Amino acid sequence: MYKINVDGNGSYEVEEGKKLVLALEDNGVDILHRCGGNARCTTCQVEVLDGELGPIGDAEAAILSSKGITGSNIRLSCQVRVNSDLSVKPLKTATTSGMEPGPRPQD
């Protein structure tokens, strides 16, 4: 189990290998995931404040680049799995955007 600290939303124990977007949602964070976790919309962005999410994959890199998102600490929570303790800040939520979160991503 790893500990995820979510800026403004508490800390949670999460099992290794769980998609970050699901870990957030399952712990009450209203993170957006408008495309259902398919690396197409970038609404599930998080700022990594501390910790490591591993190397960025091709699909994630391509969509971030196409949307002009260049910060090395910005990641798509639907494309990464929890493999260490983390501190993150969700950048888009249902509350702040007024949008519905979207279909739940696959595990």
pLDDT (average), residues 53-80: 95
Determine the Cα–Cα distance for residues 79 and 55; give it in Å rounded to an integer.
11
76 part of a folded domain:
yes
105 part of a folded domain:
no
**CATH number of the domain to which 23 belongs:** 3.10.20.30
pLDDT category, 14, cuts 50, 70, 90? Answer: very high
Q: In this predicted model, what pLDDT tens digit does every residue of 36-55 receive, in sequence order?
A: 999 999 999 999 999 999 99
104 part of a folded domain:
no
Determine the Cα–Cα distance for residues 68 and 60; give it in Å rounded to an integer.
12
pLDDT (average), residues 72-88: 97
Can you give the residue range of the structural domain that contains 90?
2-97
Contact at 8 Å (CB) between 88 and 105? no
pLDDT category, 68, cuts 50, 70, 90? Answer: very high
Number of domains in the chain: 1
102 part of a folded domain:
no
103 part of a folded domain:
no
pTM metric for this prediction: 0.95
Segment holding 58, helix H or strand E? helix 58-66
pLDDT category, 59, cuts 50, 70, 90? Answer: very high
